[in-house]
Amino acid sequence: MIVDLPNTTSSKISKTLVKIREEGGAVALGRVLTLVISTGLGEEEEAIGAANDASREHPMRVIVVSTDQGTAHPVGEARVDAQIRVGGDAGASEVVVIKAYGDAAIDQESLVTGLLLPDAPVVAWWPGNAPEVVSESAIGRIAQRRITDAAAASNPHDAITVIAGSYQPGDTDFAWTRLTLWRAQLAAVLDQPPYQPVTAVEVHGAADSPSTVLLAAWLQLQLEVEVTLTVTSKSHGSSGIQGVTLTRESGEIKLERTMANVGTLIQPNQPTHDISLPRRSLRDCLAEELRRLDPDELFGDVVKRGVAQLGKPGKAAASRKAKS
C-alpha cells in the first residue's frame, strides 16, 4: 500500500503511520532499527530497493530524506511532500519517503526526529554524495552507525582520504564492506602451510575502486610489509579490484578476478583454482553492515593508520633493512 501526503509535515506523517497501523494491522513492534537514507531528489529508488531487500533480514523502519544536495542554500517555496509505503511495497519494513524543497530542506534532523522508532538504534546511510564530516551532519548526529559509499564520489581515492581524516567510531563505508570476500579468501590462503612470512605484496585495481586502497592498507597493517599499490584506468582492465600478489620464499600467491564473478587462485605446487568472487550488491553490503551496530574497530584502524602508511616500509621490511 502506498499513501501520498503532498505538502505535509512530520506531525501529519506520524499520525498517518499510526492510522495505517490501527486500520491495516501493520505494526512496528518487530522493527529492530530505523534506517535513515539521505539522497538527492530523484535518486531514491535504488536505495529503497536495497533497503527493502535487506529488511527481510533486518525488519526496520526506513526514512528516506530527499533534497537538492547540489544546492548549499535551497531556493523556492518551502514544502515537504511525503509518501508512506507498507506491505508488499515495502518488503518487511515501513518506508517513509520525504521530499523537502526550499528552506524545508535545510534542517533534515527535524524532518526525521519525530518519525524514529522509540528505543531503537538509528543507522544513517548516504548512497551518493556524503557530508565531509558525516558524524557532525544533521542526520549523522542522531545515528549510532553512519554508512557512506566512497565509490559514488567523483574521485573515490580522494574520498578515502577524507574519510580517514574525519573518522569517528560508528563510521563505515561500503568500500570496506565490498572487501569481505577478498579478505576472507586471502586469510584462508595464508592459514595453510607452508607458514612462511610474506615478504612483498602487490595490489592492483581500477581508479574507480576505493576498495583497492583499503585492501592494500589492510594487508600492510596485518602483514607488516610494504605494499605496492598499482592503479589502472578502466580501459586497461576490469573495474574494481583486479588482483593481489603475495610473495613468500616458496613463490608467489596470486588471486586475480578474471571475470565479473570469478577469481583465479594460483599457488606454488598446487593446481590453479577458479573460485566464486562476485561483486557485492547494494543489498548485500547494506545487510552486512546492519548485522553489527557497534563501531567497526578494524575499519577505523585501517582508515586512520593503514591508509596513511601506504607506500611506507612496514615493520618487517624496516627490520630487514636495519639488519642488512
In this predicted model, what pLDDT tens digit does every residue of 255-299 receive, in sequence order? 999 888 899 999 999 999 999 999 999 999 999 999 999 999 999
Instruction: State residue 71's pLDDT score.
Output: 54
| pLDDT computed for residue 311 by the predictor | 75
Q: What is the pLDDT of residue 258?
A: 80
What's the pLDDT band for 63 if we cut at 50, 70, 90? very high
Over residues 193-223, the pLDDT tens digits come to 999 999 999 999 998 899 999 999 999 999 9
Q: Where are the domains of the chain?
A: 2-148, 180-280+310-322
Report whether pLDDT(72) > 70: no
* High-pLDDT (> 70) share of the chain, %: 89
Q: What is the mean pLDDT of residues 75-104?
A: 86
* CA gap 112, 65 in Å, rounded: 8
**Overall average pLDDT of the 78-102 stretch:** 88
**Contact by Cβ (8 Å): 38, 65:** yes
Helices 45-54 and 282-289 meet at what angle, rounded to 10?
50
What pLDDT does residue 26 have?
A: 52
Burial (0-12, 13-18, 19+ Cβ within 10 Å), 219: buried
Sorted by sequence, the CB contacts under 8 Å of residue 22 that are 6+ apart come out as: none
Is the pLDDT confidence value at 323 over 50? no
- Residue 208 has what pLDDT? 87
Which residues lie below 8 Å from residue 12, measured CB to CB, with a gap of 6+? 5, 82
pTM tops 0.95? no
Beta bridge partners of 81: 99
First to last CA, the chain: 72
User: Do you find a cis peptide bond into 193, omega within 30 degrees of 0?
Assistant: no
The mean predicted confidence, pLDDT, of the chain is 89
> How far, in Å, CA of 126 to CA of 171, rounded?
11
Cα separation, 205 vs 212, in Å, equals: 6
Where does the pLDDT of residue 320 fall: very low under 50, low under 70, confident under 90, or very high at 90 and above? very low
The closest of 228, 229, 103 to 157, measured between CA atoms, is: 229
Short-list 250, 206, 262, CA closest to 229: 206
Q: How far is CA 274 from the centre of its chain?
A: 27
C-alpha cell at 48: 529503497
- CATH class of segment(s) 2-148: alpha beta
For the stretch 26-57, pLDDT in tens is: 554 568 899 999 999 999 999 999 999 999 89
For residue range 218-251, what is the model confidence (pLDDT) as tens digits?
A: 999 999 999 999 998 754 456 789 999 999 999 9
For 148-179, the pLDDT digits (tens) are 999 999 899 899 999 999 999 999 999 999 99
Which tens digits make up the pLDDT trace of 284-296? 999 999 999 999 9
